[in-house]
Amino acid sequence: MAFHSMVFLYGFLPAVILCYFLLPARWRTGRNCILLIFSLGFYAWGGIWALPVLLASCAVNCLAGLGCAPGRPWGRAVYWCGVGVNIAALAYYKYTGFFLENLQALGMEVTIPSIVLPAGISFFTFQAVAYLTDVRRGTIPPERNPGKLTLFMVFFPQLLQGPILRYGAFAPALDDRRENSSAAAQGATRFCFGLAKKVLLADALGTIADAAFSSGDRLTVALAWLGAIAYSLQLYFDFSGYTDMAIGLGRIFGLPIPENFCYPYAAVSVTDFWRRWHQTLSFWFRDYVYIPLGGNRCSRRRQVVNLAAVWLLTGLWHGAAWTFVLWGGYYALLLMGEKFLWGRGLARLPMPVRRLYAVLAAVVGWVIFRSADLAQAGAMLQGMFGFAPGGLWSGEAAYYLLQFRWELLVAIPACLPVKVWLEEQLRRGAEQGRRLQAVVLALGPKVLVFGLLGWSSVRLLSSTFRSFLYFQF
């Protein structure tokens, strides 16, 4: 069940909100049970066959957390067994086919089984590993209530696509949270803006990207760049839109979901880009892989190995394909270069040049990320840099540029901190006694959110359904 489906918007969501708030706030356990039941139903809607996998993961991690706490007999062994079970399940479902396909390509006679990937397994596996690691380190106590840990693992707003939660930040709210109308209104507003990002911008931009990446011999330089930029914007609005909806739902129920994006296309370097994009994943690899390997507190050679390991894993986490391995290697080289070679020189360049460098690096990276295979990635990159089979320009590029001009014109400023600047200007005007600015600041978001919700609903009814891009990971 997707957040932008009519079933969710006008069926599931009103039902869970009604059942949740019918219970008095003092019945905290009852409200948690409502969320748990609806979260399991939400997951089962997409395929009940995958529900046992999720529940088994919850059970294993609940028991492993109790057994791996500091001071427990065999705690270290229990911890590694728990982590091993989590990683083994992820490896089986996500990488078995990739491994066997490569053996087959080497000439070995192997049978490739048909394995369906359980939705959200990459996300709830990483949450489980973080929980066990934090318990083992003594950062948090083990959770003795299996219902609370299960709710942490399956909480429906972030179950399928993140952000990746930390139990230490989530657990206190399970017992002590204060839902109120103000927070619920803020959450609903955030949800509607996220819905508009997905339905009104990302899906339209995806049409351009699909056309460019599938153009074959019709590819021109203009179409290659248009498709690459469109996909970069599509991915941002698709994923950040989901995150906005997840955060908004969390606020309605009084449960904290962390921010995941901070205007990544305003970055001034590749390093800065990855501090802004998918922040919870970046922080997860930093805290549970990079720093345990030695981080920056080791020789330069070891730092290179650490970065290479982190980005190989980051690439593979996103998908079982050589394009993702290449994508991870691409960013490993750029980050090593900024860290050891050209970082100081880059810092001395004018700010517009630094921003252009970061955006171009990201766009090239997303071409590799989006491509179905290495051949398509090579064709798109050759086309972008002047070696397109269709020449420089085509009517197809002009068609998509004109057909989706409004989405492009809105998307470019919307992915930059223009909203923050406008809010600051209106706030200053209101503080200086300007009534118009005060009225716009107070009523503008409310009027806009109703308009966006209505427009998004109409678009959902009249266009082809597009799933969220990160569902495949």
pLDDT value at position 93?
Answer: 94
The structure's pTM equals 0.94
Q: How far apart are CA 465 and CA 187, in angstroms?
A: 24
Please give the Cα distance from 463 to 99 (Å, whole number): 38
Region of poorest pLDDT, from 150-154, 174-178, 194-198, 353-357: 174-178
Task: Identify the residue with better confidence: 369 or 467.
Answer: 369
d(CA 369, CA 473) in angstroms, rounded, equals 12
Whether 377 contacts 368, CB under 8 Å: yes
Predicted pLDDT of residue 369:
96
Taking alpha carbons only, the member of 218, 220, 238 closest to residue 228 is 220
- Find the mean pLDDT for residues 162-188: 92
Q: Exposure of 202 by Cβ count < 10 A (0-12 exposed, 13-18 middle, 19+ buried)? A: buried
- Comparing 432 with 394, the larger pLDDT belongs to 394
The whole-number average pLDDT for the span 26-39 is 95
Residue 433 has pLDDT above 90, yes or no: no
- As a whole number, the mean pLDDT across the chain is 92
Identify the CA nearest to 315 among candidates 238, 245, 241, 377.
377
Q: Tokens 């001009």 — which residue?
A: 405
| First-to-final CA distance of the chain | 16
Percent of the chain with pLDDT over 70: 100
Q: Is 281's pLDDT higher than 70?
A: yes
DSSP state of 416: T
More reliable by pLDDT, 35 or 343: 35
Would you say residue 284 has pLDDT above 70? yes
What digits encode the pLDDT tens for the residues 295-348? 888 888 999 999 999 999 999 999 999 999 999 999 999 999 999 999 899 999
Going by the DSSP 8-state scheme, the letter that residue 4 receives in this structure is T
Pick the closest to residue 9 from 465, 470, 437 (CA basis). Answer: 465
Query: Between the ranges 110-124, 227-241, 445-459, where is the mean pLDDT highest?
Result: 227-241
pLDDT over 90 at 420, yes or no:
no
Segment 53-57 shows an average pLDDT of 94
Q: What is the pLDDT of residue 379?
A: 95
Query: Rounded distance, CA 93 to CA 110, Å?
Result: 17
DSSP string, 181-196: HHHHHHHHHHHHHHHH
Q: Which two tokens stand for residue 324?
A: 């993702």
Judge contact between 184 and 252, C-beta under 8 A.
yes
Find tokens 């799933």 and name the residue: 467
pLDDT beyond 90 at 441: no
Backbone angles phi, psi at 348, to 5 degrees: -90, -10
- pLDDT on residue 17: 96
Are 316 and 328 within 8 A, CB to CB?
A: yes
CB-CB contact of 79 with 129 (8 Å) = no
pLDDT, tens digit, 9 for 90 and up, residues 75-113: 999 999 999 999 999 999 999 999 999 998 888 888 888
> 89: helix, coil or strand?
helix
Average pLDDT over residues 146-170: 94
426 vs 459, residue with greater confidence: 459
Which ranges of 371-434 would DSSP assign to H, the alpha helix?
Answer: 374-384, 395-403, 405-414, 418-431
Among 163-167, 351-355, 442-446, the minimum mean pLDDT is found in: 442-446
pLDDT at position 473: 67
Q: What confidence category does residue 283 fall into, taking pLDDT thresholds of 50, 70 and 90?
A: very high
Tell me the C-alpha distance between 258 and 158, whole Å: 10
Tell me, rounded to whole angstroms, the distance of Cα 63 from its chain centroid: 29
> What is the set of active-site residues?
318
Are 269 and 346 spatial neighbours (Cβ–Cβ below 8 Å)? Answer: yes
Rounded Cα distance between 216 and 307, Å, is: 35
Element (DSSP H or E) covering residue 7:
helix 6-7
The whole-angstrom separation of Cα 141 and Cα 438 is: 47
Which has more confidence, 285 or 471? 285
In 243-256, which positions are buried (b, 16+ CB within 10 angstroms) versus exposed (e)? Answer: bbbbbbbbbbbbbe
Q: Please check the confidence at residue 435 and state whether its pLDDT lies above 80.
A: no
| Domain edges within the chain | 36-177, 183-411, 417-467
* pLDDT per residue as tens digits for the range 359-415: 999 999 999 999 999 999 999 999 999 999 999 998 999 999 999 999 999 999 999
**pLDDT score recorded for residue 464:** 75
Are the C-beta atoms of 190 and 451 separated by less than 8 Å? no
- Reply yes or no on whether the pLDDT at 439 is more than 80: no
